[in-house]
Structures are given as C-alpha cells and as structure tokens.
C-alpha cells in the first residue's frame, strides 16, 4: 500500500471540522455539497460574515439552484438551520455545533452567517432559529412541516433503488429528496411515484420529476389522490390514441408530453382534441402528434374552448380567405385555331350550280 506524508508550510489559520461530520456525513454527501458546507465553516473565521447565494454560486461555478439545493440538503441532515423573512428570502444560515436526530435548543454560542443583498430580519426577530420556530418555506411555499430524518431518508432512497434496479447517483438522491422538501410529498407518495413511473417503463429521474410536478399542480398530497390522477390521465391518453386509430400499446414519452400539453397547459377538452385528431387523419391519412399539436396551438391562439368555437374559427377563416381571393373578371381566352380551321371558308349556292350543269 502506497503511503504519503501530508505537510504544510505554516499556520495560516484553522477551520475546525468535527470528526462527526467527517465520519458520518461527508462520505454519503455530494462533493459539491461538502465544498459549500466547508466554505460556510471557513466564512465563520473571516472578518465578514455577510454572504449571498450568488456569491457562493460564483465562488464554486455552480448555479444558484445548486447552492440552494446544497443548503437544503445540509438542513435535512440537521447540520444547518435556514432562516427566511416574510418574503421567503433567505436571511440567515445557522451552523449547528451538535447535530442530533432531534433538534434541541441551540446554545447562544452558535454562530450565524447572514446573507448580503437580502432583506435582513427585523430587530425583534432572533438572529438564529430556535427548535420551536416555524419551519422555513421554500419559494414554492410547500415545505413539509417535518423534514425527513436521516433514517427516513435512507429508507426512502433504498426503496427507490429497488424500484429503479440500480444505485442512485448524487443527482438522483438530491432530486428524490427534493420531492419531499419542495413539493411536500410524503415518503409513501414518493414511493408510489417511483413505482408508477417504473411500471410504465420510465426510469429517468427527469420523467419522475416531471410527473411529480404535474401531481403537485393538480393538488395531489396523498397516494389516493395520485391514483385518481393517474386513472384520469391514463383514460384520456388511451382515448386520444384510439382517436388516432392506435391500439394495443402504451403511449411513449413524446406522445405523453404532447397530450399533457393539450390537457394541462392548453386546457382542451377531449372532444376538442378528438376533432384535431380527426382533421389530422383527414389531411395526412396517418396519426401525427406534431401535426395535431400545430392545429391545437393555432386554436389556442384563437381562444378556442369548444366545438362551437372551432366552427366560428372556421367561418372566420373562410371569410378572410374569400376577401383576400376575389373572383376573377379577366376575359376568357379565345381558343387557338388549329390547322383544320386555318383557311377561308367558301360560300357556294349548290342549287344554282346544279341548274347550270343541267342546261349545258
């Protein structure tokens, strides 16, 4: 085994990192998350304690969303406490000296790092969040009342790995835990979400996240509500496929994306979508989601909501066409003469000719 000696030039100051962090938290954490946590510890030794999400993001060449995700991760691990103002801006980060499974009151010696260019807490507000303070809210305003404990998070990730059939990457871990912290999904709802996605042949974390967003927008907070949502949309998907004459298979990702846009973003009823499908088949004689999407996008711009609106749009289009294409008044072109008519016709009196012949 190769060994090496670690040396330093001298004492340039020290940043203390607990063995508890090194032994129990660092090995499982995303490397970028570790760097941000260590940087916060380092900032406690600086003359200034004013920071901002933007400053940290620029420091490590990350996005601001990456920094927020890292902070939320360490808050889940109970190593940080995040403080927000009434406008849901981050105003304080408290580093917890003694993380425990259940938060206790923090001692007065705990230090806080405030953020620059954000509204500061009012003088009456404490500089650090105590254990009985209300849970902070994320920009979406849906942070659960109780964050997952390390044991709950570990159990949830283990179940997700079993469904997906592979170890989770750090990105996948972060996004799955975000379903709880951002969307407010319970562990059982997250498990059902992953199970539903995998059963449909979708193991992509992006598909899982997109489905979670749709459920969140529909107000799903329980497994029962999610099942109802799945039933509604599954029925709609297969009805649309049937309108195209497609049977015997499930919709693919691209088709689901189109149908979700028609049903959710555009808000069209099934009868309007069926009419667009019918016109697609009449025009090109084969199912085409892109062609139908163009029809529905045009109707969306025209404010179409029902079949009556479609008829009105058709009449308006017909009127505009008749106005821009008036009837032609040009004289009819004479027929060109052919070689059988290209001579002067003779005018004979056949009865007079007959008399002359008889008198001879």
Give the per-residue pLDDT at 327.
54
- Lookup result for tokens 């009985």: 132
**Residues forming a β-bridge with 114:** 50, 92
Do residues 185 and 179 touch, judged by C-beta distance below 8 A?
A: yes
Please give the average per-residue pLDDT across 242-269, as a whole number: 85
Q: Using one digit for the tens of pLDDT, what is the confidence trace for 307-357?
A: 999 998 888 888 887 777 655 555 556 555 555 555 555 666 667 766 766
Query: Across 135-149, 239-253, 315-329, which has the greatest mean pLDDT?
Result: 239-253
The angle subtended at Cα 228 by Cα 223 and Cα 231, nearest 5°, is 125
pLDDT score for 279: 94
Question: For residue 234, is pLDDT > 90?
Answer: no
- The percent of residues above 90 in pLDDT, for the chain, comes to 17
Domains along the chain? 19-115 (1.10.10), 140-220 (1.10.10), 222-317 (no CATH)
Give the model's confidence band at 292: pLDDT under 50 very low, under 70 low, under 90 confident, else very high.
very high
Radius of gyration of the chain (CA): 37
What integer pLDDT is reported at residue 129 of this predicted model? 29
| 84-98, 162-176, 242-256, range with the lowest pLDDT | 84-98
DSSP 171-216: HHHHHHHHHHHTS---HHHHHHHHHHHHHTT---HHHHHHHHHHHH
Q: How many Cβ atoms from other residues are within 10 Å of residue 326's Cβ?
A: 7
Q: How many residues does the chain have?
A: 360
What pLDDT is recorded for position 219?
A: 87
User: What's the rounded Cα separation, in Å, for the pair 86 and 332?
Assistant: 79
Residue 34 CB-density burial (10 A; 0-12 exposed, 13-18 middle, 19+ buried) = middle
- What's residue 64's pLDDT? 80
Contact criterion met (CB below 8 Å) for 191 and 156: yes
The per-residue pLDDT of the chain, averaged, comes to 75
Separation between Cα atoms, residue 28 and residue 16, nearest integer Å? 20
Query: Tokens standing for 267?
Result: 């808000």
Q: In the numeric block, which tokens belong to residue 122? A: 């009012």
Q: Within 10 A of 307 (CB to CB), how many other CB atoms are there?
A: 13
What is the predicted pLDDT for the residue at 46?
66
Average pLDDT over residues 203-226: 87
**Can you tell me the distance from the alpha carbon of 31 to that of 186, in angstroms, rounded to the nearest whole number?**
27
pLDDT greater than 90 at residue 194? yes
C-alpha span between 97 and 117 (Å, rounded): 27
For the segment 69-85, the average pLDDT, to the nearest whole number, is 84
Which pLDDT band holds residue 139 (cuts at 50, 70, 90)?
very low
Q: Is 359 helix (H, G, I), strand (E, B) or coil?
A: helix
Give the rounded percent of residues in the chain with a pLDDT score beyond 70. Answer: 71
pLDDT category of residue 27 using cuts at 50, 70 and 90: confident
* Spatial distance between the Cα atoms of 149 and 167, rounded to a whole number of angstroms: 21
With both helix axes pointing from N to C terminus, report the angle between 170-181 and 150-164 in degrees, rounded to the nearest 10.
120
């Amino acid at each position: 085994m190769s060994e090496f000696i670690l040396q330093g030039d001298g004492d340039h100051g020290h940043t203390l990192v607990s063995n508890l962090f090194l032994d129990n938290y660092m090995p499982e954490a995303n490397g970028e998350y570790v760097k941000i946590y260590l940087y916060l510890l380092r900032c406690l030794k600086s003359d200034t304690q004013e920071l901002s999400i933007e400053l940290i993001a620029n420091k490590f060449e990350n996005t601001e969303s990456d920094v927020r995700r890292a902070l939320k991760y360490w808050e889940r691990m109970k190593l940080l406490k995040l403080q927000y103002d009434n406008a849901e801006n981050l105003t304080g980060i408290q580093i917890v000296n003694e993380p425990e499974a259940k938060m206790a009151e923090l001692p007065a010696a705990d230090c806080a790092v405030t953020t620059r260019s954000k509204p500061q807490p009012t003088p009456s507000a404490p500089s650090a969040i105590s254990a009985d303070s209300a849970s902070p809210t994320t920009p979406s305003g849906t942070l659960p009342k109780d964050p997952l404990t390390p044991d709950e998070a570990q159990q949830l990730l283990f179940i997700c790995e079993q469904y997906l059939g592979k170890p989770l990457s750090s990105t996948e871990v972060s996004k799955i835990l975000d379903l709880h912290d951002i969307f407010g999904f319970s562990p059982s709802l997250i498990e059902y979400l992953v199970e539903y996605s995998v059963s449909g042949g979708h193991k992509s974390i992006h598909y899982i996240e997109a489905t979670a967003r749709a459920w969140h927008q529909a107000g799903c907070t329980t497994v029962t509500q999610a099942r109802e949502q799945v039933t509604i949309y599954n029925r709609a998907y297969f009805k649309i496929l049937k309108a195209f004459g497609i049977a015997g298979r499930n919709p693919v990702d691209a088709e689901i994306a189109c149908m979700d846009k028609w049903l959710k973003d555009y808000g069209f009823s099934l009868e309007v979508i069926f009419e667009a499908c019918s016109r697609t088949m009449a025009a090109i004689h084969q199912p085409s989601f892109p062609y139908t999407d163009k029809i529905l996008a045009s109707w969306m711009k025209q404010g179409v909501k029902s079949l009556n609106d479609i008829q009105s749009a058709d009449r308006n289009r017909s009127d505009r066409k008749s106005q821009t294409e008036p009837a032609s008044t040009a004289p009819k072109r004479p027929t060109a003469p052919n070689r059988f008519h290209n001579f002067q016709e003779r005018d004979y009196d056949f009865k007079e000719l007959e008399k002359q012949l008889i008198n001879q």
